[in-house]
Chains A and B, each alone.
Chain A
Amino acid sequence: MTRPSDVKPREGELPGALYKDWVIGQEFDALPFTITKDIVQEYMSVVNAEPENYVIDGRQAAPPNVVLVYMMAVMYRKYPPQQGGIMIGNTIEFHHPIWADEDTDVVGTGRLTDKYERKGLKYIKYDVEFKTPEGALLVAVNHTSAFPN
């Protein structure tokens, strides 16, 4: 089992990466983790998910967005987070179910795609892909956040 908190640098633990540190095109190191049945259950509880919405051909799937609790860890392991970040937007694509009744090994990878300043905030955009160890794409995300510094 990999709890996101096991692999995600926490705000305030390390000096946060600043705008000047972010490099467009920078790849993030691969983050392998395992989504267990317990993680799925906890996730469904904390996001008020309704299990009946995730039944596929009689089998209980997880909300495929369960991987999103690992998303920022992929980026933050390269660029430790500042305090005070604000989420701006996400585009998310789902490509394959994540099942609720089995453990799922996942590898998260990604790259920083853009940065810019606007109205006193520093914006960062990055892509993250979640695949199986065999390379099958599960979920792809394009993310935008803004930070004070």
Chain B
Amino acid sequence: MTDQELQKTVKQTQALFDNYGVLNGDNDILHYDDAYAKQRGFRGTLGHGLMYTAYVCDLGAKKFGRDWHYKGRLTVKYVRGVCPGDNLVTTITADNQVHCKSQFDTTLVGSVGLA
């Protein structure tokens, strides 16, 4: 386990959204139809929330190691959309707070820990 702040950056692309959708069988057009997404008031198609939740989990596993698999816990809220072109930076702070931020906004907030 580390008490250091951990960070992971993933450039968001439509290909990432498409590939995740191929695996999970998703067909929600918010993830694939740019015109529909903009009509709904978003900057573009939306990334899958559970896709970038996995970035949080990746850092949680790095932070807590073995314990993460037996008693890891995270709570996340999706506060803004993630769109293609976003440079998404996921951070776990030293006191276990979580956020994802793009060049536009904070997109996810939450916390991680052990039960």
Contact status A84-B28, CB under 8 Å: yes
Docked complex Cα distance between A95 and B71 (Å): 5
Alpha-carbon separation in the docked complex, A4 to B30 (Å): 19
Q: How large is the interface on B (under 10, 10 to 19, 20 to 34, 35 or more residues)?
A: 35 or more
The yes or no answer to B77 lying at the interface (CB within 8 A) is yes
Chain A interface category by residue count: 35 or more
- Inter-chain contacts of A8 with B (CB < 8 A): 24-26
On whether the beta carbons of A92 and B26 are closer than 8 Å, the reply is no
B62 partner residues in chain A, CB cutoff 8 A: 50, 53
Are A11 and B50 within 8 A (Cβ)?
no
Do the beta carbons of B55 and A47 come within 8 Å of each other?
yes
Given A46-B16, A56-B66, A94-B70: A89 and B58 interface contact (C-beta under 8 Å): no
Looking at chain A's contact residues, the main secondary structure is: mixed
Cβ contact within 8 Å between A46 and B28: no
Tell me the B59-97 residues at the A interface (CB within 8 Å): 59, 61-62, 65-66, 68-78
Q: Which segment, of A19-27, A60-68, A103-111, A125-133, faces chain B? A: A60-68
